Structure 1
Amino acid sequence: MALAAIAIVARCSPLSFPKSNFSPLARVLVARSSSSFKPHLRRYKAMASSLSSSGTAAKTERVTAPYGSWKSPITADVVSGASKRLDGISVDGDGRLLWLESRPSESGRSVLVKEPEKPGEEPVDITPKEFAVRTLCQEYGGGAFSISGDTLVFSNYKDQRLYKQSLHLKDSPPLPITPDYGGPSVCYADGVFDGRFGRYVTVREDRREDSLNPTTMVVAVGLGEKDIQEPKVLISGNDFYAFPRMDPKGEKIAWIEWGHPNMPWDKAELWVGYISEVGDIFKRVCVAGHDPKHVESPTEPKWSPKGELFFITDRQNGFWNLYKWIESTNEVLPLYPLNAEFARSLWVFGMNSYEVIQSDKQKILIACSYRQRGRSHLAIIDVLQSSLSLLDIPFTDIQDITSGNNCLYVEGASGVLPTSVAKVTFNDEKSEIIDFRIIWSSSPDSLKYQSYFSLPELIEFPTEVPGQNAYAYFYPPSNHVYQASQEEKPPLLLKSHGGPTSETRGVLNLSIQYWTSRGWAFVDVNYGGSTGGKRKGGWQSSMHYWRLCWWVYNLSCSSI
């Protein structure tokens, strides 16, 4: 079984590599006593033992066998066929969740599914079999559908046209609302409904003139399916656009734009446009990204029900934090400064890291997720009090959230939970959680292997850059049937994730459990420059950190 970017290292022994190959900092770490890691590992082993015992009716005597030779039911077929992929969540007019799942059993076809009306009932497929909900916009896609009330608009994979579908009329087929250009040469993504003018505002990527250098703009699409018109161009002139968002009255639109050679996490701009009586933009204001003193990358603009504009940017501390726009003075104010990431790098459309869940004279509450020190947190920010309250849920990694009726739907995972969507219900004051229930799981069958799971342990270590630390997750060998002799040390696998804006997140991954259940130790490294830590340090070579991690986990392995 192959794994990308894996270094297979010899047995965990502190004599395997000469110390001269490492930096002075690494040699300092090697000189440290391994006793400092033992309490850390003891806590970890207690967690793993608890997990293993929960999956077996009674403890049995373990078979002693060399590391790497253990037998495991987590086979290559189990790994490759285990998971469906989640590509977006939303809520309809009835307050019920819809999610977009990609199904391996249907050759990866993406299908919209609706939450059942009553617990215990089966979810309902919304997408007819001859359709697949997916956009090719900017290659990576995302934001392939949007819902307003009982009306759904989605991008169909085969022809990339937009279709409108009623969620209440079961026998009503999806109908196209964009022109047929004879093939998937024009793509749409990240759309929202404009109730004032009865239209759909969306990002469009046009490859008709140049397939290698497509033209991107924000357009308005009429929602009438009988007389299909060419979409009306609202915003154009830059290379890329994302997050077109209408205010509640349809009088203003916010959006993100950026141009070559920048990526959206390097430098971008947040704009607000004022809409005329005929639906055109007659005035524009740059909210963030225009000041040469602040090289920033704003993202995820969102209007509150009262018409206040919130967004996320990294202008002050190098971390993506939440801000509010003061329209009268064109100033921006931080809501709750924190050395943590409240957003992710904009690789795909449609990301949703926060929701305004209350906006009145008494309170403005924002439910949000942020990532700090290798773990995601769910929290509520009280804007008027400038305070943050943590909410305790089983997820250690959170992707997207969306609001429902007095609840949140949260996409997340943990070391023992595969990617899932949970319904998180609040009390009336929205001060605490009264119910947490899994609505959807990418791999519900994976839990039958939980007695074999190895729990990730976060390790933090210094780098050669003063004041900057790097992180990794350590997975010890774990199999409730086997054990190795006390004198033996396990073989170790090191993995380096791809991309300077990516991050390994310490969640259940059967491709890692494949190895650990066979007696391998596994280290998943977040080298310097990974998302989740301060990003202004930029991309840095990972090989030094691999060496550094190797010595750190040498000490860890010696305690197993």
Structure 2
Amino acid sequence: MTTQAPYGTWPSPLDARLVAAHDGRPEFLGAVGDELWWTEPRPEEGGRRALMRLTVESRCEGSPEARSEEGRQDGEGAVSVLPAPWNVRNRVIEYGGQPWAGAPRTPEEGGPLMVFTHFADQRLYAFAPDAPDAPVPLTPLSEVTEHGLRWCDPVVLPGRGEVWCVMEEFTGQGPTDVRRALVAVPLDGSAAGDRSRVRELTDDADRFVTGPRLSPDGRRVAWIAWNHPAMPWDTTRVKTARVTEDGDLTEVSVVAGGEGQSVAQAEWAADGTLLIASDASGWWNLHRLDLDAAGGQGRPLSKALCPREEEFAAGIWKIGQRWFAPLPNGLVATLHGRGAMTLGVLDPETGDLVDTAGPWTEWAPSLAVTGTRVTGIAASPRSSYEIVELDTRTGHSLVVAAPHRDQVDPAYYPEPLIRTFVGPDGRDIHAHIYPPHHPHRTAPDGELPPYVVWAHGGPTSRAPLVLDLEIAYFTSRGIGVAEVNYGGSTGYGREYRDRLREQWGVVDVEDCAAVARTLAEEGTADPARLAIRGGSAGGWTSAASLTSPTVAGLYACGTITYPILDLEGWATDETHDFESQYLESLVGPLADYPARYRERSPLHRASNLSSPFLLLQGLDDVICPPVQCERFLEQAEGREVRHAYIAFEGEGHGFRRAETIVRALEAELSLYAQTFGIARTDVPALELSK
């Protein structure tokens, strides 16, 4: 039975605490022998990342009778191997990278040997999970700067007694006083107090490098490198070298990539050829390089394995992401798609690509191979991210860990629509529309719902179509959500993402506005009750929209979370090294276009503010620092625009603690309720000042 109630007033079992408890997803999945390992979020434990282990025995516990027709099993065999406060995460390029690695050993040798980075001190540690000993540090603390030394994307080489990984070393107090190199760290702990024991495998000629990938015979190594001002989705190079008997690298050469080409991943196949994901065709596609056969321009012979106008990779935001994984039998497990990524198995000889059966429509860039089995992290509009195993011999797949469990009746979940809108100049704009949805409430006849436009971060990124309890929090209360993959987003080829080149603050603002206006014009949304929200680059788009003369009056309010607000400040010394020259492509060189930096910045357009806004910021954020919010609020003084600013101690770029997520979400709902004229008593009233 359904009853009528105005949009936005509907009761919902999805409260903010439930949303916070399930924030985040499994990440950095990998195999150690036949075991599976990964990290999981713990919002209720201060936001730490736990290191999880699934043994072969636990993996096989689920009986056929315990599995549903969708291929799910119990999935509760995984255990956390390190108690709090161990936090398996690092800050390399600030967004972090692969934080752990392992090497299989026999029970007589003590079981697997694991290494990991601990967030609190950023050191690399080693431990044996089957032994009682506590982890021991392998790397030193830096005495140069508080940022110190950081490590990521490790490879454990017991035969050499070393861990090979990326080292990030700060050489001064500035955010760009940093160098990176591939290094070898002794497993005996001798470098814990002696920096000189860390052996550098490469020089620091490249500003950025990914971790080493060793060939099956151990005689070659490959990695990806790039330099300012390019971002990794602009230009990268694949480098290879030969490994000497002493473990040094010689004959270093560039074998793929270069100006205007982005290679997102490189992996060795079982036959010793090198597989890469390159966008030389305008789409990230898989290619095979034969390093012993010469091709054009002195480069190795290259063959496209499955040329399609689809993406087989995405931008490197975290070092160690894995969109494809070679199998021992020569097949390749790979993610692919347009606007979404599904898992398929590719025969590189024929180009045949067979997709995985099952309900999962989005796979994260994290794949593990154990024999003929491929394991990944997958979700759908009806299920959160869970760990799914595919048996490539049979085509059968099942959930083996982190299973989705409905926290409320799934009838409260949104029912999204995939839509393509028409923007300025007739360009396509991709979006996911989540109408208000409730099993027991409908709105009075003739009432149109409020809608919030969500601008994703990045901006060279994408909003996936998966179950997000934060979206359901709003839609189950009668507030619609429109997630916009505006021009510049990944997933639709290089031409689509290049739309944002020198147009940040223009194309993203226009595309979000076009979606909002269309929803209003077609009668889907109430034109008087539109809002915009976003975090990081999405926070920029939200603030730019609220201060843009071209969209004045469109949005009734907005939520701005850990944003960029002052382009000139951000382009000089107010962000981290990785993105310190990102604006060279997003806006244009500062030296050439200083007026453009000022004209587009919300900081200098605060006089255009007329709609209420909520500003949320982590005080430990080094990517989008709180000083930008403080200057913006100073400029907004005297505008008599209702607003609230909430700053969270102990939070950085992206909120991780349960209590922070709860307060931010309830404050956002209160902003909409007050602005849209909705009566709600289930969240604290947000105090809006002028």
Shorter-chain TM-score: what band? 0.7 to 0.9
Measured at CA, do residues 462 and 134 of structure 1 come closer, stay the same or move farther in structure 2, by a change above 3 Å?
same
Letter matched to residue 397 of structure 2: D
Measured at CA, do residues 498 and 177 of structure 1 come closer, stay the same or move farther in structure 2, by a change above 3 Å?
closer
Residue 29 (structure 2) aligns with: 89
State the TM-score, normalizing by the size of structure 1: 0.81
Q: Deviations over 1:450-472 (max 9, x none)?
A: 11111211001344456x52200
**Partner residue of 1:112 out of 21, 26, 51:** 51
Q: Deviations over 1:238-264 (max 9, x none)?
A: 111113211122211101111111111
Residue 153 (structure 2) aligns with: 190
Residue 17 (structure 2) aligns with: 77
> What's the CA shift for 1:208?
4.2
Residue 448 (structure 1) aligns with: 408
Letter matched to residue 242 of structure 2: Y
Provide the C-alpha distance between the structure 1 equivalents of 2:44 and 2:479, rounded to a whole number of angstroms: 30
> What's the CA shift for 1:367?
0.8
**Partner residue of 2:420 out of 460, 466, 478:** 460
SS in 2 for 1:154: strand
Q: Are residue 504 (structure 1) and residue 504 (structure 2) matched? A: no
Query: Relative CO higher for 1 or 2, CA cutoff 8 Å, sep ≥ 6?
Result: 1
Measured at CA, do residues 558 and 496 of structure 1 come closer, stay the same or move farther in structure 2, by a change above 3 Å?
closer
Residue 10 (structure 1) aligns with: none
Letter matched to residue 548 of structure 1: A
Q: Deviations over 1:209-233 (max 9, x none)?
A: 4552111111111222367662111
Measured at CA, do residues 109 and 231 of structure 1 come closer, stay the same or move farther in structure 2, by a change above 3 Å?
same
Q: Deviations over 1:144-189 (max 9, x none)?
A: 101221111111222222111123x231322222234457610000
Q: Are residue 255 (structure 1) and residue 210 (structure 2) matched? A: no
Letter matched to residue 134 of structure 2: P
Letter matched to residue 102 of structure 2: I
Provide the C-alpha distance between the structure 2 equivalents of 1:382 and 1:134, rounded to a whole number of angstroms: 35
Provide the C-alpha distance between the structure 2 equivalents of 1:556 and 1:78, rounded to a whole number of angstroms: 34
Letter matched to residue 306 of structure 1: D
**Partner residue of 1:283 out of 235, 246, 251:** 251
Provide the C-alpha distance between the structure 2 equivalents of 1:447 and 1:557, rounded to a whole number of angstroms: 32
SS in 1 for 2:383: coil
Q: Are residue 299 (structure 1) and residue 264 (structure 2) matched? A: yes
Task: Assess if the C-alpha contact under 8 Å between 2:234 and 2:262 holds in 1.
Answer: yes
Q: Are residue 435 (structure 1) and residue 435 (structure 2) matched? A: no
Measured at CA, do residues 86 and 489 of structure 1 come closer, stay the same or move farther in structure 2, by a change above 3 Å?
same
Provide the C-alpha distance between the structure 1 equivalents of 2:443 and 2:86, rounded to a whole number of angstroms: 52
SS in 2 for 1:197: coil
Provide the C-alpha distance between the structure 2 equivalents of 1:87 and 1:337, rounded to a whole number of angstroms: 29
Q: Are residue 202 (structure 1) and residue 174 (structure 2) matched? A: no
Provide the C-alpha distance between the structure 2 equivalents of 1:556 and 1:457, rounded to a whole number of angstroms: 15
Residue 7 (structure 2) aligns with: 67
Provide the C-alpha distance between the structure 2 equivalents of 1:402 and 1:486, rounded to a whole number of angstroms: 52
Task: Assess if the C-alpha contact under 8 Å between 2:277 and 2:313 holds in 1.
Answer: yes
State the TM-score, normalizing by the size of structure 2: 0.66
Q: Deviations over 1:511-536 (max 9, x none)?
A: 21111111122211111111111233
Task: Assess if the C-alpha contact under 8 Å between 2:268 and 2:274 holds in 1.
Answer: yes
- Worse overlay, 538-547 or 389-398: 538-547
Residue 647 (structure 2) aligns with: none
Provide the C-alpha distance between the structure 1 equivalents of 2:11 and 2:290, rounded to a whole number of angstroms: 61
Task: Assess if the C-alpha contact under 8 Å between 2:150 and 2:167 holds in 1.
Answer: yes
Provide the C-alpha distance between the structure 2 equivalents of 1:500 and 1:535, rounded to a whole number of angstroms: 14
Residue 102 (structure 1) aligns with: 41
Q: Are residue 140 (structure 1) and residue 64 (structure 2) matched? A: no
Task: Assess if the C-alpha contact under 8 Å between 2:225 and 2:236 holds in 1.
Answer: yes
Q: Deviations over 1:305-351 (max 9, x none)?
A: 221110111011x1111111121211322111111111121111120
Letter matched to residue 239 of structure 2: W
More helix by share: 2
SS in 2 for 1:472: strand
**Partner residue of 1:357 out of 309, 320, 327:** 327
Q: How does 1:97-496 map to 2 (within 5 A)?
A: 97-115=36-54, 117=58, 118-119=61-62, 120=74, 122-149=77-104, 150-167=112-129, 169-181=130-142, 185-194=148-157, 197-212=160-175, 213-225=177-189, 230-236=197-203, 237-290=205-258, 295-316=260-281, 318-327=282-291, 328-329=293-294, 330-359=300-329, 364-372=330-338, 374-399=339-364, 400-427=366-393, 432-441=394-403, 444=404, 446-464=406-424, 468-496=427-455
Q: Which consecutive aligned stretches of 4+ in structure 1 deviate over 6 angstroms post-superposition? A: none
Provide the C-alpha distance between the structure 1 equivalents of 2:509 and 2:162, rounded to a whole number of angstroms: 52
Letter matched to residue 193 of structure 1: V
Letter matched to residue 511 of structure 1: E
**Gapped regions of structure 1 (runs ≥ 5):** 1-60
Task: Assess if the C-alpha contact under 8 Å between 2:449 and 2:525 holds in 1.
Answer: no
Provide the C-alpha distance between the structure 2 equivalents of 1:558 and 1:347, rounded to a whole number of angstroms: 35
Measured at CA, do residues 538 and 274 of structure 1 come closer, stay the same or move farther in structure 2, by a change above 3 Å?
farther
Residue 545 (structure 1) aligns with: 511
Q: How does 1:505-520 map to 2 (within 5 A)?
A: 505-520=464-479
Provide the C-alpha distance between the structure 1 equivalents of 2:141 and 2:186, rounded to a whole number of angstroms: 14
Provide the C-alpha distance between the structure 2 equivalents of 1:227 and 1:511, rounded to a whole number of angstroms: 44
Measured at CA, do residues 188 and 455 of structure 1 come closer, stay the same or move farther in structure 2, by a change above 3 Å?
same
SS in 2 for 1:375: coil
- Worse overlay, 139-148 or 170-179: 170-179
> What's the CA shift for 1:128?
4.0
Measured at CA, do residues 346 and 558 of structure 1 come closer, stay the same or move farther in structure 2, by a change above 3 Å?
closer
> What's the CA shift for 1:426?
3.2
Measured at CA, do residues 558 and 349 of structure 1 come closer, stay the same or move farther in structure 2, by a change above 3 Å?
closer
Residue 659 (structure 2) aligns with: none
Task: Assess if the C-alpha contact under 8 Å between 1:135 and 1:157 holds in 2.
Answer: yes
Task: Assess if the C-alpha contact under 8 Å between 1:87 and 1:142 holds in 2.
Answer: no
- Worse overlay, 548-557 or 83-92: 548-557
SS in 2 for 1:418: strand
* Identical columns (%): 28
Give the RMSD, CA atoms, in angstroms. Answer: 2.3
> What's the CA shift for 1:131?
2.5
Task: Assess if the C-alpha contact under 8 Å between 1:63 and 1:482 holds in 2.
Answer: yes
SS in 1 for 2:431: strand
Provide the C-alpha distance between the structure 2 equivalents of 1:165 and 1:376, rounded to a whole number of angstroms: 35
Task: Assess if the C-alpha contact under 8 Å between 2:387 and 2:400 holds in 1.
Answer: yes
> What's the CA shift for 1:549?
1.6
More strand by share: 1
Task: Assess if the C-alpha contact under 8 Å between 1:287 and 1:332 holds in 2.
Answer: no
Letter matched to residue 176 of structure 1: P
Residue 32 (structure 1) aligns with: none
Provide the C-alpha distance between the structure 2 equivalents of 1:490 and 1:508, rounded to a whole number of angstroms: 21
Task: Assess if the C-alpha contact under 8 Å between 1:368 and 1:381 holds in 2.
Answer: yes
> What's the CA shift for 1:96?
2.2
Task: Assess if the C-alpha contact under 8 Å between 1:287 and 1:331 holds in 2.
Answer: no
Measured at CA, do residues 392 and 556 of structure 1 come closer, stay the same or move farther in structure 2, by a change above 3 Å?
farther
